[in-house]
Structure 1
Amino acid sequence: MTIQWFPGHMTRARRQIQDKLKLIDIVIELLDARVPISSRNPMIDEILRDKPRLIVLNKSDLADSRTTEQWIAAFAEQGHACIAVDSSTGTRVNEIPVRARAILHAMIERQIAKGIKPRAVRGLIVGIPNVGKSTLINRLAGRNIAATGDRPGVTKGQQWIKVGTEMELLDTPGILWPKFEDQIVGYRLAMTGAIREQVLNVEDIAFFAVKVLVKRYWPTIAERFGVETPPKDIEDADEIVRVMEDIGRKRGCLISGGRVDLEKTSGIILRELRAGKLGRISLEGPDDL
C-alpha cells in the first residue's frame, strides 16, 4: 500500500514558513521520540537553510529511554543540540527557552556589546502533524492558546505566542512531504497516528506494527496480549497474521464461524500502541539511519 497525504493547507504552510524566516532567530524542530527519523520532514533542511536549530524529541514518555539517549548522542554528533521532553506532562519543557538562548548566546552577546537591550528570542516551531506542537506551546505559554487534538491537522494557521518575557514562538501547521520515498517511513508515521486513519488500510498498518513490535519487543507483546507462541519467522506473512489472530482471540474479536475480525483486532493493536499501553517503545534507533 502506498501512503500519501499532502493536504492543500500544508502547501500554504510551507510558503508561510519561508515568508516568516527573516523574523526568526531560532527554529525548534519537534520530532516524535519514538520515530525521530520518520517524523523528520526532509523538506525542513531545504526550507530552513542555516537557521540555528534546537531539536526537541517530544512524547519521550512513550519512547524507550535508552534509545532516546542514543538519539540525543547521534544528533549531537551531527552538530545539533537536542533535548527530550514530554509536552503532555510538562517534563523538561521549561528547559527549551534556556537551551534556545544558549544556542543564540553569541548573537545576544553581540547585541549587548553594541549597547542594544536584547529583545525576546523569536522561535519558530516546526514539525509534522500530531507530533504535539500545540500541546508544547500551551505548556510553554502556561495557558491554552493553541488548539490541540489527538488527530493530525488541527493547527491550520500561524500565530505568535509569548513565552514569559524572553521568548516568542510562531506556531505553524504540521507539514508532511508530498511523497514518501521510503514506504517504511509512511508505515511508521501511520503507526504513531501522524496520518489520518481515513486514508489508510488499518489492517495493513497493524500488520506492519505487529511485525516491528515482535522483532523489537516480543516480551512486551506476549505479556500485554497474552500471546504465547512467537512467530518462527518474522518475514513470513502468515506467521505475523497468526500472531494477529491470536491477539484477536484473546480480546474476543470473533465473528461468525469463530473467525477473527482482523479489522477490529487491528484497531485495538494501534490504539493501545499509540496510547502507550504497550509500555515505552521506540520504533527506530540511530542504527536505522
Structure 2
Amino acid sequence: MALQWFPGHMHKALKEIKESLRQVDILIEVLDARIPYSSENPEIAKIRGDKPCLKILNKFDLADPAVTLQWQKSLENDRNVFTLTTSSDKPAESKQVLGLLREHFAKKDASIKSINAMITGIPNVGKSTLINILAERTIAKTGNEPAVTKSQQRINLGSGIVLYDTPGVLWPKLENPHSIYRLASSGAVKNTVMEYEDVGFFAADYLIKAYPELMKARFKLDEIPDTELAFLEAAAKQRGAIMRGGRINLHKICEVLINELQAGKLGRISLETPEMVAHEKIEMAAAAKKKAEDKAKRKQRFKDGSLTPDKRDRKEKRVEKREAQSKRMKQGRK
C-alpha cells in the first residue's frame, strides 16, 4: 500500500519542534501502546539527541499487556529514556506523568524548581486527551480523527511545570511497509488515504496468526482458517456481509474488522513486538544495501555507456580524431 500523507502544516510543525526543543528540559513522546515502534516518529529521534525523554505508551487498555511490558524494557535500553503506560479511561494513571517528571529531575538536581517539557505524538495517539487530564481543564481540542491540533501552544500545568504542546506529526516518508499498515490499522491516518481491503487483508493475516482465539471468539468461528481470505469470507458470513448472488462483500467485512480493531472490540491486541521489529530492521537494512548497490551499478553503466562493441569502436575513433585535430591546431599556432 502506498501511503504519503505529510500535509503542509506538519512540515511547519516539525520545523517549530526543532526550534523549540532547545528551550525545554525534557521531551515527552506519546506512543500508541499497540504500535510503539510504528508510532515513534524517527524525525523526533534524530533531533532529540541526549535530551531526557519520557515515552508514554498510551491506549494501554487496548494493547496486549505482556507485549507492552516487552516494549517498555526495550525502549528503556536507550539512554535517558523512561516509560509509562496510560489510558484515557483511567485519568489517575495519566496524572503520574507530573510526578515522574519531578522525580526524574529531583534525582539529578534537587534545586531545580521549574521544568519545561515538550509533548509530541503522531495524530490520533491520544495526546490532546492526556494534556487535558494533566491540565485539569479543556486546553487541547480532542477528536477521534487524526490531525486535530494544528499549532504549537504553551500550557502552564502549575507546580513549576510548563508544557509545550505540538501538532501531531507524521514524517515525510514511511520506510517500513509493515509500519504503514499498522498505522492505518490503528487509526493514525485518515480513512480517506487508505484502502480498506488492502489494510483489512494485512490485519486479518496478522490477527489469525497472533490472536487466533480472540478471532474465533469475536466472529463465532469453530476453527480459524489457514489464510486471511478464508478468514474474511468466514467472518463475512457470520456478520452478513454478503452481496447479491451470495458473493462476499470484502470491502464491508474489512471495514468491520478495522473498525472493531481500532475500538478494542476484538480484545487487547498489540500489532508488533520488539522481536518482530528487530527482524524487520534487518530486512530493511538488507533492502537498503541492495538498493544502494543497484544504484551504483546503474551509475557505472551510465558512466560507461550501454554501447555495443561496434559503437564503442566508433566512439573511440571519434575521440582519437578529436585529439589528433586538437594536436594539429596547437602545432599550427606555433
Partners in 1 of 2:4 and 2:221 — Cα distance? Answer: 33
- Greater Rg over alpha carbons, structure: 2
1:156-235 equivalent positions in 2, closer than 5 A: 156-232=150-226
Match 2:258 to one of 251, 266, 270: 270
Are 2:135 and 1:141 aligned?
Answer: yes
1:34–1:64 Cα contact (<8 Å) kept:
yes
8 Å contact 1:227–1:243 — kept in the other structure?
A: no
Helix, strand or coil: the match of 1:39? coil
Q: Tell me, in whole angstroms, the C-alpha distance in 2 between the residues paired with 1:271 and 1:148.
A: 19
Q: Within the alignment, does 1:24 sit opposite 2:24 as a pair? A: yes
**d(CA) in 1 for partners of 2:124 and 2:259?**
15
User: 1:38·1:188 contact (CA, 8 Å) conserved in 2?
Assistant: yes
Please give the alpha-carbon distance, in whole angstroms, between the structure 1 residues aligned to 2:228 and 2:72: 32
Amino acid at match of 1:250: Q
Residue 211 of structure 2 aligns to a residue whose secondary structure is helix
- 2:234 match: 246
Residue in structure 1 matched with residue 295 of structure 2 by the alignment: none
- 1:8 aligns with 8
Match of 2:53 in 1: 53
Paired AA for residue 40 in structure 1: E
Q: Distance in 1 between matches of 2:160 and 2:272?
A: 35
- The normalised TM-score by structure 2 is 0.80
Distance in 2 between residues matched to 1:228 and 1:199, nearest whole Å: 35
Q: Bigger CA drift: 89-98 or 123-132? A: 89-98
Distance 1:107 1:252 in 2: 60
Give deviations 1:183-211, integer Å, cap 9, x for gaps. Answer: 11000000000011101111110110111
Residue aligning to 1:235: none
* Number of the residue aligned with 2:87: 86
Write the letter of the residue equivalent to 1:26.
Answer: I
Match of 1:115 in 2: none
Contact 1:4 1:178 in 2 (8 A): yes
Q: Distance in 2 between matches of 1:99 and 1:24?
A: 16
Stretches of structure 1 lacking an aligned partner (at least 5 in a row): 113-117, 233-238
Deviations 1:140-196 (A, max 9, x none): 111111000111010001111122323111111111111111111000000000011
| Alpha carbons 1:3, 1:183 under 8 Å: kept | no
Structure 2 counterpart of 1:282, one-letter code: S
Q: Is the 8 A contact 1:59 1:86 kept in 2?
A: yes
Q: Deviations over 1:229-248 (max 9, x none)?
A: 3233xxxxxx2112111111
**Residues 72-111 of structure 1 aligned to structure 2 (within 5 Å):** 72-79=72-79, 80-105=81-106, 108-109=109-110
Letter in 2 for 1:255: M
- Amino acid aligned to 2:216: A
Q: Is the 8 A contact 1:141 1:163 kept in 2?
A: yes
Aligned-pair CA distance for 1:94:
1.1
Question: Which one of 270, 273, 277 corresponds to residue 285 of structure 1?
Answer: 273
Question: Quick one: distance in 1 between partners of 2:163 and 2:105?
Answer: 15
CA distance in 1, matches of 2:12, 2:113: 29
Higher percent of residues as helix: 2
Q: Could you tell which deviates more after superposition, 34-43 or 80-89?
A: 80-89
Q: What is the CA-CA distance between 1:78 and the residue it aligns to?
A: 2.4
- Deviation at residue 119 of structure 1 after TM alignment: 4.0
1:67 is aligned to 2:67? yes
Q: What amino acid is aligned across from residue 53 of structure 2 in structure 1?
A: R
- State the SS of the aligned residue for 1:16: helix
User: Please, what is the CA RMSD of the aligned residues?
Assistant: 1.4
Residue by residue, what CA displacement relative to the aligned partner does 1:72-99 show, whole Å, maximum 9, x if unpaired?
Answer: 1112222321111113431411111111
Q: Secondary structure at the match of 2:94?
A: coil
Q: CA deviation at 1:107?
A: 5.5
Q: Match for 2:249 among 247, 255, 261?
A: 261
Cα deviation, 1:108-127, whole Å, max 9, x if unaligned, reads: 43xx3xxxxx4431110011
Find the aligned partners of 1:280 and 1:77 in 2 and give their Cα distance. 25
Unaligned runs of 5+ in 2: 279-334
The residue number in structure 1 matching 2:148 is: 154
3-state secondary structure, aligned to 1:146:
coil
Residues 28-39 of structure 1: matches in 2 within 5 Å? 28-39=28-39
